[in-house]
Structure 1
Amino acid sequence: MTNGVTIAAISNRGTKMNTQPRSFAAVNLPDVPRLEDVSEVYAGLSVKLHDLYRKLRAVQDESAELVQAYRSRARPRFTSDFRAPDVAPNDRIAALLGDAPAVADEPMSLERQMAQLEQREADIQSAIQVVSARMTDARMEASTKICDTVMPHLNGLLTELAGKMAEVAHLAIKYRSYGDALNMANIAWSQTDPIYLNVGGANDPAGPFALWLKAAVQRGYIAAESLPKEMRR
């Protein structure tokens, strides 16, 4: 234990914390702008977030070296600039976010460096949370602009889908009606191994298929007259 910091806590923490920002799979949307393209704020925050994760990795690397140095009492080969004097938490995090000037370094003992690294790592995690929250707001604003661009294409797809589903509904009801007629004729048509699709109407008035088509009608993607009469209730 050194100033409330255990060697085990420092070394274990480096293996548990995520040191990479969340990544998204590359998609082929040539006509859709990126969030970074429509929002300078989002682009700047994205750069800041990656920089904070870089600093977090550097802190954890230095923590691992400090643990070894503490055990051997050898002088570590530090490459980072994370040995800052006592500063209020809000000022430290503000400096990481670029909202306040950076704090000048000062020499300190190995034990104090271990305590400072623990605090530095906590500060970076707090800064990452702040930037992530700011990115969420910027993402929503930028997404609104992008949605205005892609809405016509999405509406076209929904209109086409609603039309196809209405066609399926007509065929499914026609298939069931034919089977019902065979039953009324006392024909054991079950040996044909029928497959029913409940699309709505008297047999399934609140099923997902029927509810989807009714929602499409309400939103104007398809006319009510396009649906089977059994689904218009």
Structure 2
Amino acid sequence: MAALQLSVKNPEQAADHAEQVVISAGGYVASAAEGVGAQNLPTPSTSADATESSETGVSPLTLPMASAAVNTDQALLLLRVPPSKLDSVLAALAGTGSVSFRTQSETDVTGQVADVNSRIASAQASLTELRGMIDKAASMNDLISLEQALAGRESDLESLEAQQRALSDQTGYATVTVGYYEPAAAAVPTTPAAHHNAFVTALDDGWHALVATFRVILVVLGWLLPFAVVVALLWWPVRRLSRRTWWRPRPGDRTE
């Protein structure tokens, strides 16, 4: 069992590459989740691609919180890899980005396999014995009792066989949880040159604004000029006429 978390430029593309690597090694993708923000794998019972996973109870290892922005792309995969190819697969996956977390452990299930196999053999022998006793039942009560015992033993056998399949899958495939995330954009440090560039930019913007203002003023003056000429032409005779009327001598005024 292993877990790997990597920072990559394109999580979706990295996830596609991981799938190709695993399939080439003879494994398969049990489940996967891709999208914006932290991803969670579906449970085995709801995953459409995890039929074997639902039987074996395979679950992903928990990865640490990725140091990524909230709205960045992320991907999470649950891979099943043949144990003999585990190291080569992990090396291939680690080469696709910057590894931020990695863990690997081994679980010895040899004793569990032997125990389950022994219990299955005992259950099968018990079922054979019960079926023989049913054929020789002397009364209806004995028959009903034996059939109830048979049903219970059959249920126990099915449970043991499920455990056997799970252990067989564990010994046949190693579980690898792989998480990809796009790192947050690094903040650009402020430098004296940046301050200088900001001043020059502001000065340039101010100059363009001043030129634009003068242009607007000239446009307004150009629009008003014809009206000003007409008003001046009309105002001059009116002014002359009003002055003559004002200075006209009245009867009785003395003139020298």
- TM-score of the two chains, using structure 2 as the length reference: 0.28
> Relative CO higher for 1 or 2, CA cutoff 8 Å, sep ≥ 6?
2
* Greater per-residue strand proportion: 2
Larger Rg: 2
Give 1 or 2: higher helix fraction. Answer: 1
TM, length-normalised to structure 1: 0.31
